[in-house]
Amino acid sequence: MAYITLNKNNFFNNLDIIAQHTKAKDKIALVLKDNAYGHGLRVMATLAKEYGITKAVVQSCKEAQAIEEFFDYILVLADFPHSKSTSSLVRTKNETIRYTINDLEYIVKFPHATKVELKVDTGMHRNGVAISELREAFSSIKRQGLILEAVFTHHRSADELTGEWFWQNDNFKKVKEEAKKLANEFGFNELRFHSSNSAALFRHVEFDEDMARVGIAAYGCMELPEAIKVEGLKPVLSVYADKVSSRELKKSECIGYGGTYEAQENCRVSNYNFGYGDGFLRVCSNNYTNPHGTKLIGRISMDNSSFLSEEENLLIFNDACQLAKSAKTISYEVLTSLKSEILREIV
Ligand SMILES: *Cc1c(COP(=O)(O)O)cnc(C)c1O
């Protein structure tokens, strides 16, 4: 199997840039869902703690439990305290974990005294209660005896250079005003507010929210249009593969399943232990060149891929954005495709 290296300096460099923008480390909530965007959940949590990050965001209870010891605050985006994924050994009362309310109907699923945050749909129409349902949500949360700590939203197009960002921001402003009044009326403590993922954070000229939920920027793989590009972020993750075998391919011989690459002249080729079973998107077959100019040839198979190379350890990629281009996808998919079994090592 291939191996992954995680560049600690680059990660800390990215966190420095993000912290300059949030103006405080403790306003960064590092998004660690999906095995920390393929980087490795526990190893990234360890590094984040070392840097001084105190807040994390994950998708499930299971992820939250795996990193509980590293943070003061963990927001679970879409799970319930007693879901199937939750280990029965885990304490039901937990000071660290907060749960997201994504739908009015599910408020009754949270046990009394659970800390919750209310997600409001300001235009993405994926999760969250409608702006018109705010009062009903507050009233239900009160009736259920939950501890409401924050109200938040998510932008649908913060990474695109369009006006959408502005109207969604305006919608959230209205939500904030109304939520403050409702918090007063229903007797909740002062609420916190947040709306920014990586792209949205950098579009705030003066960031003044209580925290930002930062994923891809911390991993250094943001793909933004030139006009809103953020300078200085560096990819954290690299994938290397070991050589399994080498051979000479004679002119007009073909390599791999289907023989889709034909040698134009005699050449030396090697086969490396990184395939689609490990997370190498198969759509890159015959259409990828590594950062050193080494060409991938033939189809990617389950555990193997062939390159015009004889190197013992071949760098597959050190910038997920580059591979994403050849796969016609986004860095997020390239990264989260990497299997958790691959060895990860901090360098
Ligand atoms: C994944 C996610 C984020 C992080 O997004 P990035 O673009 O990686 O910064 C923030 N908020 C929510 C609700 C998410 O699901």
pLDDT of residue 89: 45
CA 199–ligand 1 middle distance (angstroms) = 9
Nearest-angstrom CA–CA distance, 200 and 197? 5
Asked whether the beta carbons of 6 and 345 are under 8 A apart, the reply is yes
Q: What is the pLDDT of residues 188-220, one digit of tens each?
A: 999 999 999 999 999 999 999 999 999 999 999
Which atom of ligand 1 approaches the CA of 213 most closely? 10
CA proximity to 202, closest of 187, 217, 182? 217
Nearest-angstrom CA–CA distance, 185 and 191? 13
Nearest-angstrom CA–CA distance, 46 and 228? 31
CATH fold for domain 7-228: TIM Barrel (3.20.20)
Q: Is the CB of 107 under 6 A from ligand 1?
A: no
Asked whether the beta carbons of 199 and 158 are under 8 A apart, the reply is yes
Which atom of ligand 1 approaches the CA of 159 most closely? 7
Nearest-angstrom CA–CA distance, 344 and 347? 10
CA 118–ligand 1 middle distance (angstroms) = 16
Cross-strand bridge partners of residue 49: none
Q: Is the CB of 119 under 6 A from ligand 1?
A: no
Nearest-angstrom CA–CA distance, 319 and 78? 29
Nearest-angstrom CA–CA distance, 326 and 193? 38
Q: Is the CB of 197 under 6 A from ligand 1?
A: yes
Nearest protein Cα to ligand 1, atom 13: 154
pLDDT of residue 94: 72
Asked whether the beta carbons of 202 and 21 are under 8 A apart, the reply is yes
Q: Is the CB of 198 under 6 A from ligand 1?
A: yes
Question: Which residues are catalytically annotated?
Answer: 33, 257
Q: CB neighbours of 345 closer than 8 A, spacing ≥ 6?
A: 3, 4, 5, 6
CA 343–ligand 1 middle distance (angstroms) = 25
Query: What does each C-alpha distance from 329 to 2, 13, 190 come to in angstroms?
Result: 22, 26, 41
Query: What does each C-alpha distance from 268 to 157, 245, 247, 256, 303 come to in angstroms?
Result: 46, 11, 6, 14, 20
Q: What is the pLDDT of residues 116-137, one digit of tens each?
A: 999 999 999 999 999 999 999 9
Where is 194: in which H helix or E strand?
strand 192-194
pLDDT of residue 1: 83
pLDDT of residue 82: 76
Q: Are strands 73-76 and 55-58 parallel, antiparallel or unpaired?
A: parallel
Q: Is the CB of 123 under 6 A from ligand 1?
A: no
Q: Which residues of the chain have pLDDT under 70?
A: 83-93
Nearest-angstrom CA–CA distance, 221 and 38? 12
Query: What does each C-alpha distance from 32 to 37, 55, 75, 283 come to in angstroms?
Result: 7, 10, 10, 26
Coil, strand, or helix at residue 120?
strand
Which letter does DSSP use for residue 269 in this model? Answer: E
Class of CATH domain 237-346:
mainly beta
Which letter does DSSP use for residue 305 in this model? Answer: E
CA dihedral of 295, 298, 299, 301, whole degrees rounded to 10? -80
Which atom of ligand 1 approaches the CA of 37 most closely? 8
Coil, strand, or helix at residue 122?
coil
Neighbours of 302 (CB within 10 A): 12
Task: Could you list the beta-strand ranges (E) of 59-143.
Answer: 73-76, 97-101, 115-121, 129-130
pLDDT of residue 314: 98
Choosing from 31, 44, 125, 237 the residue with most ligand 1 atoms within 8 A of its CB, the one to mutate for a pocket test is 31
Domain-wise residue ranges, the chain: 7-228, 237-346
